[in-house]
Structure 1
């Protein structure tokens, strides 16, 4: 990478790096808009795609969240395959591939026929679409994470890392905002009939925009360029696991608490409020949107803070927060508008201490040669097991009549990661990328 120029933006980012941030961030916005639109709209389309085999209205919703979890289980495969592709052929090529996949998956969701029209074929088509999206998102995190952190000048990796979740949150905001708008302007019957399809069609179009913008990016992996010139040997598929098993295991420990907290607080909490305290659907989507704006603003601020104080203090703050707070916070939920808003905002502050630096911490674990695959597989596998199943587990606890067990489940996972943060993790903020 070229040396940092003198001119900088207000956030301290050299202006020559802005194109890199834009290429990664805008494509990432599209990727995660498509991914999260599913969660926000699940309460509306579940009755269209899944048959109500009983009088229990939660059965279709459970089906939709089961498909949501299935999509997550493609993410480790995407992280491995696309990560290995990024290590061999470059981050830019990998990011181009992932955004095309996401557009195809989003279009397929938007065109999924109803159960009444085609029967069991409807959930099969939806599942196929989520498998495609899961493969794409797993690969996207591996490629975009390495691209962002490798683009950062020394002393700014925490700040650049934060744009992973700035762009992710912008995607969520677009999905949540459009869902909230449609829920406001359309009557419930229209929303359940055709309104839920609109965001997915929009997502397919946005994928083309992201594809065009990513073509302007510069490659960040000198190793991949050397491989293409025949001057370096291609890394093996599981080379990262053979030579850096401790780093791979560390990513699992670091991520367990972060992923369940993230998917609960940023996507599932509005639905959790609906099924536990009968919170209004439209109001919960509005509150989710407000909270996401707050969350997005926090990311670069906390990323810059980590460049000063280090990664460990930030992660320990997050871990202790989610060890202690889930039970009392979720216990405060009522059907009052302010209760859900307060609970979400408090959780976002602690969650930001993890999300703002997750990309930097992961990238600092591996050398360039195997960085994308080394991050992509263990991270995506952990997210699949714990993050992707969070909505399903929360809904299943409610179905079993024990919704209060879910926050205890979150705290138990937070305990595991907090032990890693305090006793195992070493500070890496001042170390050069390997």
Structure 2
């Protein structure tokens, strides 16, 4: 693998004031990203407490399956959100799209926090819960593409990998804060109190945080010009597939593998440690909380590495190492009962994934011209994420249930090999974004 340096050397292009403004813009954009993911994932962590309020049943499993179905519906809204907000971002500006996105997430969280229960309004309760979740799914589906595009465009030249990595810092941070909020509530409220009203508190916190993020995003600098937004092809699906079909397929190809391995070693891994490795659920939670924290902290480091060796090389290392190491790591985890060994192996896997996640938004943004960039990034990500990332846990558990769990390891490996092959299609020098701003 080559290590061609595609980074633009830092020079005197920026005054101190301009540097400060751009860094503040990164903070504003990434703060909204953190809030979006906090609001989206707090639903999953609180489901065990609010499930009986919306889906009365004598069987707790049925209750959780119903809440999981609503969660999945939100996940499936992501492609629509990627298209809708990508179009808004390209035709009406990145700033407007990000403000609408976080406002929609705020509305969804506030609605869930205030929803009457099944006991009060009957079937309207789960129906309204579904509506709120669909709003959140749309919002988070549009958040990734627009934020990735904006952060890539506003980041300082020569340091785009470093600054772009904060998208995943805040994405993972949102998940960790959601867990932490629930853990804190568990220390102060009893299980009965959490089921009665305590589960509403995280949604109120998320709604308030979204309002704060909205004000931060109001001050963002727009990265598109009026001329670009007036382009007849801005945000056009026809233009995307007419002129940029190859770029779209390339992004789809490596995002499929990237999403699959990301969800394998994050959201699914806790269940894997319990169901396959035979660890205690609390121990698995501790392992994953620690691993995710380290993973979050690794993102800027791997972003800096990409600035040094080039985005294409970083993506190739991701594909190659993922192909070589996935089966050995999962097979070893399957047989280990040592929490420290499990932590080291999962952290190693997440380090490999970091070659991709630290620069994923940036690499995608560099594939598309400005007038359809947000649409191309958002839609390609959302489709691949919904199909491959969203199905990771289902596929893994289904194969385990059929007694063919090892086949899942090879499935991930094959997708990583495909990601490597698509990484070879990346240009050695970025076609777009290289000279933007």
- The CA distance in 2 between the partners of 1:175 and 1:26, in whole Å, is 14
Residue deviations 1:351-391 (CA, integer Å, cap 9, x gap): 11100010111010011111111111121111111112223
Structure 2 vs 1, CA of residues 276 and 175 (structure 1 numbering), >3 Å: closer, same or farther? Answer: same
The answer to whether the Cα contact below 8 Å between 2:23 and 2:155 also exists between their aligned partners in 1 is no
Is 1:218 aligned with 2:227? no
The match for 1:341 among 340, 343, 361 is 343
How far the C-alpha of 1:254 sits from its partner, in A, is: 1.4
The match for 1:30 among 35, 40, 48 is 35
How far the C-alpha of 1:283 sits from its partner, in A, is: 3.9
The answer to whether the Cα contact below 8 Å between 1:322 and 1:414 also exists between their aligned partners in 2 is yes
Matched with 1:297 is 297
The answer to whether the Cα contact below 8 Å between 1:280 and 1:335 also exists between their aligned partners in 2 is no
Matched with 1:243 is 243
Matched with 2:149 is 146
Output the aligned Cα RMSD: 3.0
Secondary structure of 1:266's partner? coil
Farther-moved stretch of structure 1 (164-173 vs 110-119):
110-119
Matched with 2:3 is none
Structure 2 vs 1, CA of residues 118 and 396 (structure 1 numbering), >3 Å: closer, same or farther? Answer: farther
Residue deviations 1:13-41 (CA, integer Å, cap 9, x gap): 93331111111111111111111223334
The answer to whether the Cα contact below 8 Å between 1:62 and 1:395 also exists between their aligned partners in 2 is no
The answer to whether the Cα contact below 8 Å between 2:82 and 2:145 also exists between their aligned partners in 1 is yes
- The CA distance in 2 between the partners of 1:134 and 1:287, in whole Å, is 28
The match for 1:358 among 357, 360, 375 is 360
How far the C-alpha of 1:295 sits from its partner, in A, is: 1.2
- The CA distance in 1 between the partners of 2:61 and 2:85, in whole Å, is 36
- The CA distance in 2 between the partners of 1:49 and 1:277, in whole Å, is 33
How far the C-alpha of 1:112 sits from its partner, in A, is: 4.9
Structure 2 vs 1, CA of residues 350 and 156 (structure 1 numbering), >3 Å: closer, same or farther? Answer: same
- Aligned residue pair count: 422
Is 1:135 aligned with 2:144? no
Is 1:4 aligned with 2:4? no
How far the C-alpha of 1:245 sits from its partner, in A, is: 0.6
Q: Which runs of 5+ in 1 are unaligned?
A: none
Secondary structure of 2:153's partner? helix
Secondary structure of 1:218's partner? coil
Secondary structure of 1:267's partner? coil
Structure 2 vs 1, CA of residues 130 and 16 (structure 1 numbering), >3 Å: closer, same or farther? Answer: same
The correspondence of residues 233-382 of structure 1 with structure 2, limited to 5 A, is 233=232, 235=234, 237-238=236-237, 239-277=239-277, 279-331=279-331, 332-333=333-334, 337-382=339-384
Matched with 1:14 is 19
Residue deviations 1:232-255 (CA, integer Å, cap 9, x gap): 446253121221111111110010
Structure 2 vs 1, CA of residues 183 and 374 (structure 1 numbering), >3 Å: closer, same or farther? Answer: same
Structure 2 vs 1, CA of residues 63 and 406 (structure 1 numbering), >3 Å: closer, same or farther? Answer: farther
Q: TM-score, normalised by structure 2?
A: 0.86
Q: TM-score, normalised by structure 1?
A: 0.86
How far the C-alpha of 1:144 sits from its partner, in A, is: 0.9
- The CA distance in 2 between the partners of 1:44 and 1:400, in whole Å, is 31
The answer to whether the Cα contact below 8 Å between 1:162 and 1:355 also exists between their aligned partners in 2 is yes
Structure 2 vs 1, CA of residues 58 and 401 (structure 1 numbering), >3 Å: closer, same or farther? Answer: farther
The answer to whether the Cα contact below 8 Å between 1:86 and 1:94 also exists between their aligned partners in 2 is yes
How far the C-alpha of 1:85 sits from its partner, in A, is: 0.9
- The CA distance in 2 between the partners of 1:279 and 1:184, in whole Å, is 23
Residue deviations 1:114-161 (CA, integer Å, cap 9, x gap): 566666555433332221111111211121111111112322221222
Is 1:159 aligned with 2:162? yes
Residue deviations 1:263-311 (CA, integer Å, cap 9, x gap): 2323232233344455444443333332222112211111111111012
- The CA distance in 2 between the partners of 1:270 and 1:186, in whole Å, is 25
Matched with 1:86 is 89
- The CA distance in 1 between the partners of 2:194 and 2:322, in whole Å, is 35
Secondary structure of 1:428's partner? coil
Structure 2 vs 1, CA of residues 326 and 37 (structure 1 numbering), >3 Å: closer, same or farther? Answer: farther
Secondary structure of 1:426's partner? coil
Structure 2 vs 1, CA of residues 182 and 281 (structure 1 numbering), >3 Å: closer, same or farther? Answer: farther
The answer to whether the Cα contact below 8 Å between 1:62 and 1:396 also exists between their aligned partners in 2 is no
Farther-moved stretch of structure 1 (98-107 vs 186-195):
186-195
- The CA distance in 1 between the partners of 2:399 and 2:193, in whole Å, is 30
- The CA distance in 2 between the partners of 1:15 and 1:71, in whole Å, is 37
Structure 2 vs 1, CA of residues 416 and 115 (structure 1 numbering), >3 Å: closer, same or farther? Answer: farther
Secondary structure of 1:173's partner? helix
Matched with 1:40 is 45
Structure 2 vs 1, CA of residues 400 and 69 (structure 1 numbering), >3 Å: closer, same or farther? Answer: farther
